[in-house]
Chains A and B, each alone.
Chain A
Amino acid sequence: MALELLETLGELGFVIQLLVFTYCLFWLYLTFRDLPLMFGISSVAVGFLVFIHGVSVTVLVAAFVFLVLFGMQIQQMLWFGLFPLLGYHVAGDHLISSDEMDQTRLQSTMALYNERAERGLASADEMQFLERHGAMNQMSGGQNQAAQNMQMMRNAGLQ
């Protein structure tokens, strides 16, 4: 069983090397179309690299192709597909929870955490959440509603 698996991996590894070599030949041919000597020399060099130092070069080319061709799609899928599905949005330089962007939800969550803080039950994360959203100032009467809303919008990355 293990031998079969190794054999399969070996065969697939060879095919991947062959595909990478083919792709490199294609690229070299286009690059050195008017310089056959350079095409020949570089083909031998690439063949040596791909088939002798196979694994590292193949991984490098595969990563290059993957990121260059699919980088934008990966970003789109993460930012606008996966993150919203998990309840997060990109807010400038950090991710922000969907809950924090929804004012009604935010106020309910703050009410809950405030109550827990008043009873001494709040965890460190919850206290941090309250501090981040200026709730502590509200408790001490330090901010008016407009300033508090501005702070919320700023925290939510909307300004």
Chain B
Amino acid sequence: MSFGELGIWLEIAKWLVLFFVGWWWYNWVREKLAFSPLLTLVVAGLVVYYLVIEHPIVGSIGVFGWILMTSGILFMLPSFSLVWNTLFPRPMPPRPGTPAFEELVNR
């Protein structure tokens, strides 16, 4: 794959993400304001305008941050701490009588 093709695919991915973010915000407003279709259109229009067209990065962070927090994926993070501590254990303190021990005593 050439560099140009990669750029095209990235551009397509960007538009897909933006479309998803826009749909997500619209859906959020639609769920919350289900009692009024007119209010839904007005609020969704404002939200999508500001969070997808004007500030797409902030809008995306909002959507994916929310998905990250509510999906429960973060409950998995503690496992990584255990794996990290297992792979990279802290060095044991030196045993008495060794040069390293003497060095630590007189530090």
Contact = CB atoms under 8 A, between A and B. Distances in A.
Interface string B66-107: 000110101101101110110000101111100001001110
A38 interface: no
A142 interface: no
Contact of A109 (B55, B72, B77, B93): B93
B19 to A, nearest CB: 19
A14 interface: yes
Contacts of A15: 46-47, 50-51
Contacts of B93: 105, 108-109, 111-112
A32 to B, nearest CB: 11
Contacts of A111: 93, 95-96, 101
Nearest to A8: B55
B47 A18 contact: yes
Interface string A7-29: 01001101100110011011001
Given A14-B50, A23-B32, A87 B70 contact: no
A27 to B, nearest CB: 9
B81 A80 contact: yes
Q: How many A residues are at the interface, by size bracket?
A: 35 or more
B57 to A, nearest CB: 11
Q: How many B residues are at the interface, by size bracket?
A: 35 or more
A8 B70 CA distance: 27
B12 interface: no
Interface stretch (A48-56, A115-123, A128-136, A143-151): A115-123
B78 A12 contact: no
Contacts of B105: 112, 115-116, 119, 121
A22 B29 contact: yes
Interface of B: 29, 31-33, 35, 43, 46-47, 50-51, 54-55, 58, 69-70, 72, 74-75, 77-78, 80-82, 84-85, 90, 92-96, 101, 104-106
Given A84-B85, A112-B105, A121-B105, 19 more contacts: A12-B50, A12-B55, A15-B47, A18-B46, A73-B75, A76-B74, A76-B75, A76-B78, A77-B78, A80-B78, A81-B77, A84-B82, A85-B84, A104-B92, A105-B92, A111-B95, A112-B96, A115-B105, A116-B105
